[in-house]
């Protein structure tokens, strides 16, 4: 509970908000290094050493940051780095509790604050411990409270699909060898339009069906894969493709404003997302009969409500 008497789920906020998203919010640009690392000039006000360059490092897998400049560390009382809450607290000169509250309100993070239990509708779980009210079923996918790690972005399967290592690292995809729901699959992170991680899709290695596995309860019809990155470009045009790999291939070819339907059907929610954020669509469905039908169906759905171009992929082909 903070000074306002509000309950804040720190763990939920930290899990819902990624460092990459915060960097975009604060206008901080870092270069992508090896694997899961981002690196560049330290954005913290306490950093006073002009000689220290590229001392600020972010581990996107662990969702933490660190600055190796001695003067910067000393100015923060010996704190070398921390998590997303620590970052906001330092950037905005506030407490950890206030940082969590601001993130929850400003960025729509999980773990929104609630007034104290009495008379608020704040529920308890069966074990008796307090928990935040859950997201209404069907309205949105709840942000995940975990990150799969490590993911092998060098796995041969990705190379076989023509996905370069740099592209795999950018999309944070990789083979997951640990035990669990995604075991033995290539895990693909899916974010909502705010950049919150809401699910992983697991691509099987081989011919086993189904090829993709999604978590129970996740509704892909509510999301557009890669939308949060496409919006960062500030352009009003976007390329719409069917699948994850199609999206990665186009990004690899230099098209940063590209989103995937995660199938061949455009849902009402996806349609609204496209109409709300873009002024021109370029449809690039697969070259099979399913893709052809999808192009015609989507064109009919949008019905002159947005500028639309259809790019036909050669018959029987997929985007490469």
Range among 16-20, 28-32, 258-262 rated most confident: 258-262
Q: Are strands 114-115 and 237-241 parallel, antiparallel or unpaired?
A: unpaired
Residue 295 has pLDDT above 60, yes or no: yes
Q: What pLDDT is stored for residue 31 in this prediction?
A: 87
Residue 316 has pLDDT above 70, yes or no: no
CB 138 within 8 A of CB 114: no
pLDDT tens digit string along 20-55?
888 888 888 898 877 788 999 898 888 877 776 788
Q: Which of helix, strand or coil describes residue 239?
A: strand
Q: Rounded CA gap, 205 and 185, in Å? A: 6
Residue 106 binned pLDDT confidence (cut-offs 50, 70, 90): low
Q: Rounded CA gap, 38 and 32, in Å? A: 5
Closest CA to 121 of 7, 3, 2: 7
Residue 320 binned pLDDT confidence (cut-offs 50, 70, 90): low
Q: In order of start, what are the domains of the chain with their CATH numbers?
A: 6-115 (3.90.580.10), 156-310 (3.40.1360.10)
CB 152 within 8 A of CB 174: yes
The residues with which 213 forms a beta bridge, in sequence order, are 202
Q: What pLDDT is stored for residue 116 in this prediction?
A: 34
Q: What pLDDT is stored for residue 126 in this prediction?
A: 31
Q: Could you tell me where the DSSP H helices lie in the chain?
A: 10-16, 19-26, 70-75, 84-92, 96-106, 156-160, 165-171, 227-230, 244-252, 268-277, 289-302
Q: Rounded CA gap, 2 and 207, in Å? A: 52
Q: What pLDDT is stored for residue 114 in this prediction?
A: 40
């Amino acid at each position: 509970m903070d000074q306002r008497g509000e309950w804040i789920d720190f763990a939920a906020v930290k899990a819902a908000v990624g460092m990459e998203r915060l960097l975009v919010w604060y206008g901080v640009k870092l270069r992508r290094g090896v694997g899961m690392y981002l690196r560049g000039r330290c954005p913290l006000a306490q950093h006073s050493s002009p000689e220290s360059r590229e001392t600020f490092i972010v581990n996107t897998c662990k969702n933490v940051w660190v600055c190796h400049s001695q003067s910067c560390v000393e100015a923060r009382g010996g704190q070398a780095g921390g998590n997303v809450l620590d970052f906001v607290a330092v950037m905005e000169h506030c407490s950890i509790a206030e940082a969590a509250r601001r993130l929850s309100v400003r960025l729509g993070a999980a773990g929104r604050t609630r007034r104290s239990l009495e008379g608020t509708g704040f529920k308890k779980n069966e074990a008796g411990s307090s928990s935040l009210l859950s997201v209404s079923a069907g309205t949105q996918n709840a942000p995940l409270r975990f990150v799969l790690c490590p993911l092998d972005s060098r796995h041969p399967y990705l190379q076989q699909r023509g996905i370069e290592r740099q592209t795999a690292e950018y999309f944070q995809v990789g083979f997951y060898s640990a035990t669990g729901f995604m075991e033995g699959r290539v895990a693909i992170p899916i974010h909502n339009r705010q950049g919150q991680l809401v699910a992983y899709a697991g691509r099987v290695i081989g011919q086993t069906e189904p090829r993709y596995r999604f978590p129970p309860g996740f509704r892909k019809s509510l999301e557009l894969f890669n939308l949060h990155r496409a919006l960062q470009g500030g352009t009003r045009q976007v390329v719409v493709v069917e699948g994850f790999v199609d999206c990665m291939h186009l990004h690899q070819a230099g098209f940063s404003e590209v989103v995937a339907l995660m199938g061949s059907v455009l849902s009402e929610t996806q349609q609204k997302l496209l109409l709300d954020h873009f002024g021109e669509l370029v449809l690039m469905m697969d070259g099979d009969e399913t893709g052809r039908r999808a192009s015609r169906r989507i064109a009919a759905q949008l019905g002159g409500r947005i500028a639309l171009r259809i790019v036909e992929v050669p018959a029987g082909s997929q985007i490469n």
